């Protein structure tokens, strides 16, 4: 063997030896590194695993279901809470929805163990190929983990915990349970959580009714809820839907024919009533807010996530009838009042009507400042003359107002010399309203009205409307507006007189009444009858029919202010708001419409005080009743408020008011003999009232301005408020038979056509209340309860709860 050969052999052995050692060392290093990684991983797992959230919230799933308010006949009128959710069980979700979700999000869901390694590899390749993140690899289980427990921050720590939690979920729950959670929990835009809520939000239907095309569109939303929902961006939602449909076909969930049919289906976006996008079927905003406030007083903030269902006492038909009646009554008054001019007048570019894009852009901006309000629609005037007003709602919706009656309403804005702030001209921003079969221009009402109706047997509220527009301000005038009741208060004064010996036939002076400054301790008081009309003497019955102020004052004078004040508390009135002074005879105290309705219920139900209530019962998210109303019921001896004889006589007198007196329009239009009531108008027509009732239903209407001012010299309770009451009662009483008067109570007799209590028979009852000399007039002095003090209050700065001036 040559030396060169030996040298080569030695060199080769040296290289092999070195390579072997390198491989050995590398192997040892990698093993050590792997061991370190394993040890570190084990340590991290040991530290992290115990800190993973407990899965009890998933196993015992209790989603954040909002507070829901319903009518008595189970019509949804309000939801409160950030999340809108309708939870379904797994077997209640249609298969087409499940297959669409799996196709869009995780087609290997039932094969992998929480992490789809095939999907991960596919995503890595796709992302490297495109040099950007074009695909993700999140599984449904990973999304459930993220939605329930983890934030959306993009950190390695968060991702690590997500992976661990994913494994824990897979080890604890079945696949069906995981999918069930996902379908009920995922956010899908427009405050809809879960596919059941999304189906109602976007298609206006229950999830069980959707088609494959609709299911595919819903399944495409989770990728980017704010961008791929069909309300926000229909084109992107449609593109995503076509992708999901293709996946459903490729995975065998749809046949070729079903796929083509789904592709061709026209998607109609229609939000269901009761969703944030769809509003509600009836106008119960004031009812829902009041119910929320009442429940909040018991449970505080817990009411917004526990899935409480509140069932009120209102009925949907009555509530909608009340809403329509109030709205039409306010619009009728607005038509009668002086037209105040357009909302504002813009400088319209010449020829803008020939540029649809520019005109629509301008009108879109106007909608932000002057949004449509129900059936009052914003528009801009393109041309105006005394015979026609042309208004643009959009570039394609141009409306001509030509009805002579409608033009008469705004005539002062169309004349040649109209003042600048009143003139209707090109560029004027106005509201349009369809009145019957013709359009009219009408200003947004400034006046307000309130209506409430009760079931007098137990005080259940049947309808409640607290103003013209709830969104403009949530002030509920039924419960929060303390106003002077005016003559609507007189029946309570008369009732007190019956129990002091006066009768409906008692003769009372109607001559002018004066108290001097010396007598009042402040300033002279000279109340007046409406229209300054006086008669020498009227019976008490006639005085009520004609709503004579002088008669009411003298009745209260005869009975005694202190006695009247005490007597009023039997009806639920606040003593502090009903001072024991003579102006109280004219309704100078203050009441809310709800309080007045509760007081009239005493007359309607036979003499029992039954406090009004709104919530019948409350259930939790499982349907278990957790609160149940236990109202006071008429007939309970403990609730007896006034003598049944007083009730009988007052009902007879107030039926006369509704037949022959200031409320005679009631009988003319409704043709019923079982209705009693009373109009009310305060001084300078600041407040207009009508309170009316049958034995089964009480209704009270108020109209006025929030900051008290005159409705107009010719406006009265009979003209402004009574029509609202009538429009409601036409519907509410349509199918109710008349209730005849019951038998005359014991201790009451009808003699010569008039009623007498047994302790006050003819000859002993008060026969006459005349006009005494000033020295004989009993007057409380100028102390805190005196008439002088009250007159000072009534002429001080106006307050919402205590309007100024003494009422008629």
Length of the chain measured in residues: 808
Residue with tokens 């301008």: 362
- Asked whether the beta carbons of 394 and 358 are under 8 A apart, the reply is no
Report in angstroms the alpha-carbon separations of 673 from 610, 666, 694: 24, 10, 9
Q: Which of 138, 271, 453, 487 is catalytic?
A: 487
Q: How far apart are CA 583 and CA 600, in angstroms?
A: 21
487 catalytic residue (yes or no): yes
Cα separation of 661 and 718, whole Å?
10
Residue written as token pair 């269901």: 272
Locate 200 and state its tokens: 């109602």
Distance, CA of 528 to CA of 43 (rounded, Å): 93
**Whole-angstrom distance, CA of residue 199 vs CA of residue 335:** 42
Residues 79, 83, 105, 214: which is the catalytic one?
105
Q: At what angle do helices 140-149 and 95-105 cross, to 10 degrees?
A: 90
CB 590 within 8 A of CB 801: yes
| Contact predicate 424/413, CB 8 Å | yes
How many C-alpha atoms does 789 have within 13 Å on its Cβ side? Answer: 11
Residue 652, burial from CB neighbour count under 10 angstroms (0-12, 13-18, 19+): middle
Yes or no: say if 506 and 768 are a contact pair by the CB < 8 Å rule: yes
Cβ atoms within 10 Å, residue 436: 9
Q: Is 496 helix (H, G, I), strand (E, B) or coil?
A: helix
Cα angle vertex 593, ends 587, 598, to 5°?
A: 95
Q: Cα–Cα distance between 453 and 729 in angstroms, integer?
A: 10
Catalytic residue numbers? 105, 487
């Amino acid at each position: 063997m040559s030396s060169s050969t030996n040298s080569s052999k030695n060199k080769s052995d040296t290289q092999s030896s070195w390579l072997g050692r390198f491989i050995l060392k590398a192997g040892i290093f990698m093993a050590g590194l792997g061991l370190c990684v394993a040890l570190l991983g084990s340590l991290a797992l040991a530290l992290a695993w115990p800190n993973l959230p407990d899965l009890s919230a998933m196993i015992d799933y209790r989603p954040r279901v909002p507070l829901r308010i319903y009518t008595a006949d189970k019509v949804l009128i309000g939801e409160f809470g950030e999340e809108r959710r309708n939870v379904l069980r797994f077997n209640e979700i249609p298969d087409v929805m499940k297959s669409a979700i799996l196709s869009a999000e995780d087609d290997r869901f039932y094969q992998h163990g929480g992490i789809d390694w095939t999907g991960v590899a596919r995503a890595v390749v796709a992302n490297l190929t495109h040099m950007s993140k074009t695909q993700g690899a999140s599984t449904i289980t990973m999304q459930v983990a993220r939605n329930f427990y983890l934030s959306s921050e993009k950190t390695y720590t968060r991702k690590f915990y997500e992976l661990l939690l994913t494994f824990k979920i897979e080890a604890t729950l079945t696949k069906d349970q995981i999918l069930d959670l996902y379908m009920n929990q995922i956010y899908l835009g427009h405050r809809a959580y879960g596919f059941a809520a999304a189906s109602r939000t976007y298609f206006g239907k229950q999830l069980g009714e959707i088609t494959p095309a609709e299911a595919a569109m819903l399944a495409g939303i989770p990728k980017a809820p704010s961008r791929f929902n069909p309300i926000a961006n229909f084109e992107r939602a449609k593109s995503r839907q076509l992708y999901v449909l293709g996946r459903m076909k490729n995975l065998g969930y749809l046949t070729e024919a079903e796929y083509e049919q789904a592709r061709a289906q026209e998607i109609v976006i229609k939000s269901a009533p009761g969703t944030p996008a769809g509003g509600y079927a009836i106008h119960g905003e004031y009812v829902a807010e009041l119910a929320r406030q009442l429940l909040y007083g018991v449970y505080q903030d817990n009411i917004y996530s526990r899935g409480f269902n509140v069932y009120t006492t209102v009925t949907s038909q009555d509530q909608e009838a009340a809403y329509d009646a109030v709205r039409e009554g306010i619009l009728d008054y607005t038509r009668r009042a002086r037209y105040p001019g357009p909302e504002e007048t813009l400088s319209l570019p010449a020829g803008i009507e020939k540029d649809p894009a520019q005109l629509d852009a301008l009108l879109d901006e106007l909608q932000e400042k002057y949004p449509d309000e129900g059936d009052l629609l914003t528009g801009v005037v393109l041309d105006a003359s005394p015979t026609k007003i042309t208004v643009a709602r959009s570039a394609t919706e141009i409306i001509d107002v030509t009805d002579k009656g409608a033009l008469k309403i705004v005539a002062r804005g169309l004349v040649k010399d109209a003042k600048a702030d009143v003139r209707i001209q090109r560029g004027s921003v106005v509201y349009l309203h369809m009145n019957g079969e013709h359009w009219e221009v009408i200003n947004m009402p400034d006046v307000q009205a309130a209506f409430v109706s009760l079931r007098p047997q137990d005080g259940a509220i049947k309808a409640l409307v607290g103003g013209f527009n709830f969104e403009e301000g949530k002030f509920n005038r039924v419960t929060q507006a303390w106003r002077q009741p005016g003559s609507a208060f007189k029946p309570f004064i008369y009732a007190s007189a019956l129990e002091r010996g006066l009768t409906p036939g008692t003769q009372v002076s109607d001559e002018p009444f004066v108290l001097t400054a010396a007598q009042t301790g402040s300033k002279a008081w000279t109340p007046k009858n409406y229209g300054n009309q006086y008669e020498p003497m009227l019976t008490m019955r006639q005085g009520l029919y004609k709503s004579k102020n002088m008669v009411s004052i003298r009745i209260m004078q005869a009975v005694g202010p202190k006695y009247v004040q005490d007597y009023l508390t039997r009806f639920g009135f606040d003593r502090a708001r009903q001072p024991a002074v003579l102006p109280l005879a004219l309704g100078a105290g203050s009441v809310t419409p709800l309080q007045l309705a509760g007081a009239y219920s005493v007359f309607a139900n036979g003499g029992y005080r039954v406090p009004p209530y709104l919530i019948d019962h409350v259930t939790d998210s499982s349907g278990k009743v957790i609160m149940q109303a236990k109202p006071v019921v008429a007939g309970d001896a403990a609730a007896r408020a006034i003598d049944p004889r007083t009730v009988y006589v007052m009902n007879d007198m107030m039926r006369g008011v509704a037949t022959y007196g200031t409320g005679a329009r009631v009988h003319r239009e409704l043709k019923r003999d079982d209705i009693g009531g009373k109009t009310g108008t305060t001084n300078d027509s600041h407040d207009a009232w009508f309170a009316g009732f049958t034995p089964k239903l009480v209704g009270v209407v108020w109209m006025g301005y929030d900051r008290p001012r005159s409705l107009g010299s010719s406006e009265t309770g009979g003209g402004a408020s009574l029509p609202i009451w009538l429009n409601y009662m036409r519907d509410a009483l349509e199918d109710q038979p008349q209730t005849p008067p019951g038998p005359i109570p014991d201790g009451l007799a009808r003699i010569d056509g008039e009623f007498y209590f047994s302790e006050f028979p003819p000859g002993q009852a008060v026969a006459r209340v005349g006009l005494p000399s000033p020295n004989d007039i009993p007057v409380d002095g100028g102390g805190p309860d005196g008439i002088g003090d009250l007159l000072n209050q009534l002429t001080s700065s106006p307050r919402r709860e205590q309007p100024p001036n003494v009422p008629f």
